[in-house]
Structures are given as structure tokens and as C-alpha cells.
């Protein structure tokens, strides 16, 4: 999403960004040709190009292409179909190169130490700075594909409510969205390995990522103070200030004051836009409910401890919907009875309360029923091939995922 102006208040617009791997059509190995794809469409290599209501861009690595809404959309209905049309056009352009798009949040057997190719065009000084400081030859930089949900705010007060809601909901997102159960051909006993890689990719300067769940910061001034602390920690390694921008904050949701929006970065990309948009719709409607300005509700939300929220996140990243939630304060803060239950049960309650009765969510109900009924994509993949698949078995099931992307259908376990 390129811009959410200050005229947009809470839930008056939505920006969606979906990242995909470019892979060989036969072997499914990564193919670093995103610049060729952009050149084929635009006639020149740029970091971002626009196509009607959508934009294509690249960030950091040459095998990744990001498709996104060009500007905020008023509602999420119909957006999945637009993404599918963009994907169909990408497919046409990649076919002469013997390549295709592969969904899911991590390539299941990529070796980043050997296969990383940084984007060598515009903004390359930024990517070279990241590489110099953090060494991008790891999965946490070279092999992560996410879906970003951008939600606008129009004032300091709206920012505080939205940030409080987002940090409370972040730990629950992997229970719906985990799609990265394999790393270098192995199951690492995590359904959302991407979040673990994301959590540790900046460990040389820990403040860049923090606990992934952001600190209890609820005003513009306090958020700027958080950013300044990150910039100070980076300064010895980045004396030119190349990375001195709000996007260097790598928490699971970040403020983008350049477009007056909070960008939720914690969602794994799914097998097709229908699934991504269903998850985005569910998350947005729950966040809308959590933005209730009632003082007692806000006190409960804002008093949630960051480390305890991070513990819930670790549990859902490992176990998805089967993770047991026992944090009574968190359950009360999101409006539920405080009896322990699984993350899947929490989502079922939240969807029943805040999503199922909403007319603007009707398009997403079938996809949500699949996800809630069969589990997150990672759980479905493991159900299909088990925890110790052969390379041929992995290739076959990920080829099916690529077909799901091409045809806009959900993957069944």
C-alpha cells in the first residue's frame, strides 16, 4: 500500500501486500529473476511498478516479487480476485523463462548461504547495509514471504487504540496463518518457522526486533522515542544513517507514519489470495472490536505484558491452533472468558462473535471454514506428507501449492 492519508480513520481503508517466491517450473528451486519479470512488464527494471489498482515491487532478494494494492481499498471484498488476476499475468510473463510463482512463507529446501542473490538495482545501498550489518545469507533475510495488512489511523488517539489492539492480537495470528513447517527439507518442530527466523535475524542488534510483539507504546511521541532508541543502537554499524527510517523497526507490527498506518507483518503468506484475504478480513474485524475506546477495555489491553504476549506467540508459532492458551489476563483483555483453551478454540469464538455475522465478510466464510476446520496451512501440509518427507514428496506437495495459487483454491490436507 503506497499511501493512507490522514483523512482515513480507523478501518476506513485496507492495504494488502503479498510476497511470493519465483521458482523453476520443473524443479521448484528458487530462480532469482524478479528483475526480468519487472522488465518484461514495464520495459525497465524499477523497484516498484504500478498496474491499475495494484503494484509490483521487489525487496532485498532477486527471487521475490511482492504484489500489493496500490492505495487503500475501502473494503476487502473482491480484492482476492484482483490479486488472482495479477498472479495470472505474472504467470504469463514467467512462462517463457521456465519459471512460476510458489506460495507459502518459506521455501522448503532453499539453501540461503548458497542461493542468496541480493537485489542489485535501486535501493541497493539499503540492502547492502542490511547485508553488511546482519549478513543476509540466512533464512531470516533470504527466505521469508509474508502477507502485510495495513490499517490507517487519523490521530494520536486512534494510533493508541489500534496499536493496543494489534499487539494483543499478534500472538494469535500464527494459529490461522502459519505456513512454514519445513526448513532445508526438514520439519523443525514449528508450524511457523518463519516467525522464529524473523525473531532472530537481527540478533546482532536485538532492539531492531525486540520481542516481535511490540512494547506498550500508545502515542506518537512514545513511538518516536522507541524508534530513536533503535537508531542509536544501529548508529555504530550504520554511521551514514542509511537505515535510519521507521521501516527498520522489525517488530510484528510497525507504525508507518509516512502513510499514517500500522503495518501488521506477522502473517505468513498462504496458498492463494482467497486464504490471505480471509485471514486479513478475520483479523481486521477482530481488531475493530478490540479498538473499543471504553476505558476499562483499554486498560486491560494496554496493561498486557510484552514478554507474556511473546510467550503466547512462541506457542502458536510452534503448535498453531493446537497451542494451549492459559493466560487469563490476555483472554479477558480480548473479551473472552478466562478458562484455558486452544488457540483454535479462541479463533472460533472470535470469528463467531465478530466475523460470522458481518455481511462484508460473507466472501471469506468458506475459506475461514476450511482454515478453522482443517487447521492452518502448515498443519495441512504436515498431515499430507508427515514430518520426514523425502525431497520428491516435498516437491510434489509444493507443486500442488503452486497449482492452488494458479487456480485460486485452498489446499486440503
**Mean pLDDT of all residues in 316-324:** 98
Question: What pTM does this model have?
Answer: 0.97
Q: What is the pLDDT of residues 154-164, one digit of tens each?
A: 999 999 999 99
Distance CA 279, CA 305 (A): 25
Residues with Cβ < 8 Å from 390, sequence gap 6 or more?
none
**Mean pLDDT of all residues in 285-300:** 98
pLDDT at 359: 87
Q: What is the pLDDT of residues 185-228, one digit of tens each?
A: 999 999 999 999 999 999 999 999 999 999 999 999 999 999 99
pLDDT at 237: 97
pLDDT at 122: 84
Residue 75 is placed in which grid cell? 473494503
Specify whether the CB–CB gap between 198 and 144 falls below 8 A: yes
Specify whether the CB–CB gap between 378 and 316 falls below 8 A: no
Q: What is the pLDDT of residues 398-408, one digit of tens each?
A: 999 999 999 99
Q: What is the pLDDT of residues 75-120, one digit of tens each?
A: 999 999 999 999 999 999 999 999 999 999 999 999 999 999 999 9
Q: What is the pLDDT of residues 360-374, one digit of tens each?
A: 899 999 999 999 999
**Mean pLDDT of all residues in 367-389:** 97
pLDDT at 1: 53
HSE at residue 51, side-chain half, CA atoms within 13 A, is 18
pLDDT at 5: 46
pLDDT at 360: 83
What's the burial of 365, exposed, middle or buried (CB within 10 Å: 0-12/13-18/19+)?
A: middle
pLDDT at 44 over 60: yes
pLDDT at 293 over 50: yes
pLDDT at 296: 98
pLDDT at 8 over 70: yes
CATH code: domain 15-406 is 3.30.590.20
What residue segments make up the domains of the chain, in order of their start?
15-406
Burial string for 5-39 (b: 16+ CB within 10 Å, else e) reads eeebebbebbbbbbbbbbbebeebbbbbbbbbbbb
Residue 272 is placed in which grid cell? 492463494
pLDDT at 341 over 80: yes
Q: What percent of the chain has pLDDT over 70?
A: 99
For the chain, the 3-state helix, strand and coil shares in percent, each to the nearest 5, are: 50, 15, 35
Amino acid at each position: 500500500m503506497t499511501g493512507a492519508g490522514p483523512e482515513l480513520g480507523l478501518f476506513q481503508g485496507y492495504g494488502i501486500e503479498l510476497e511470493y517466491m519465483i521458482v523453476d517450473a520443473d524443479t521448484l528451486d528458487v530462480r532469482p529473476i524478479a528483475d526480468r519479470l519487472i522488465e518484461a512488464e514495464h520495459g525497465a527494471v524499477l523497484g516498484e511498478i504500478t498496474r491499475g489498482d495494484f503494484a509490483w515491487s521487489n525487496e532485498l532478494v532477486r527471487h521475490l516479487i511482492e504484489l500489493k494494492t496500490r492505495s487503500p481499498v475501502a473494503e476487502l471484498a473482491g480484492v482476492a480476485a484482483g490479486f488472482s488476476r495479477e498472479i495470472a499475468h505474472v504467470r504469463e510473463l514467467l512462462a517463457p523463462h521456465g519459471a512460476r510463482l510458489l506460495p507459502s512463507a518459506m521455501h522448503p529446501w532453499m539453501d540461503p548461504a548458497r542461493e542468496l542473490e541480493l537485489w542489485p538495482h535501486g535501493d541497493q545501498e539499503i540492502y547492502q547495509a542490511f547485508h553488511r550489518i546482519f549478513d543476509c545469507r540466512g533464512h531470516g533475510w533470504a527466505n521469508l514471504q509474508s502477507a502485510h495488512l495495513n490499517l490507517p489511523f487519523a490521530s494520536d488517539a486512534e494510533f493508541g487504540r489500534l496499536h493496543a489492539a494489534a499487539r494483543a492480537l499478534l500472538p494469535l495470528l500464527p494459529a490461522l496463518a502459519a505456513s512454514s513447517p519445513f526448513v532445508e527439507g526438514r520439519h523443525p518442530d514449528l508450524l511457523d518457522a518463519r516467525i522464529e527466523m524473523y525473531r532472530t535475524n537481527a540478533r546482532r542488534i536485538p532492539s531492531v526486533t525486540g520481542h516481535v510483539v511490540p512494547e506498550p507504546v500508545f502515542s506518537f511521541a512514545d513511538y518516536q522515542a522507541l524508534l530513536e532508541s533503535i537508531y542509536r543502537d544501529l548508529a555504530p554499524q550504520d554511521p551514514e544513517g542509511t537505515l535510519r527510517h521507521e521501516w527498520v523497526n522489525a517488530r510484528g507490527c510497525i507504525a508507518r507514519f509516512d502513510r499514517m498506518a500500522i503495518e501488521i507483518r506477522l502473517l505468513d503468506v498462504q496458498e492463494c489470495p482467497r486464504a490471505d484475504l480471509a485471514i486479513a478480513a478475520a483479523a481486521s474485524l477482530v481488531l475493530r472490536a478490540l479498538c473499543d475506546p471504553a476505558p476499562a477495555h483499554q486498560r486491560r489491553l494496554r496493561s498486557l505484558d510484552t514478554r507474556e504476549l511473546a510467550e503466547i506467540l512462541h506457542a502458536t508459532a510452534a503448535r498453531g491452533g493446537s497451542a494451549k492458551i492459559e493466560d487469563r489476563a490476555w483472554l479477558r483483555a480480548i473479551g473472552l472468558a478466562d478458562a484455558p483453551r486452544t488457540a483454535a478454540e479462541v479463533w472460533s469464538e472470535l470469528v463467531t462473535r465478530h466475523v460470522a455475522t458481518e455481511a462484508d465478510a460473507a466472501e471469506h466464510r468458506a475459506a475461514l471454514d476450511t482454515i478453522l476446520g482443517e487447521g492452518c496451512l502448515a498443519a495441512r501440509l504436515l498431515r499430507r506428507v508427515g514430518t520426514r518427507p523425502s525431497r520428491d514428496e516435498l516437491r510434489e506437495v509444493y507443486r500442488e501449492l503452486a497449482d492452488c495459487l494458479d487456480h485460486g483454491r485452498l489446499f486440503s490436507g
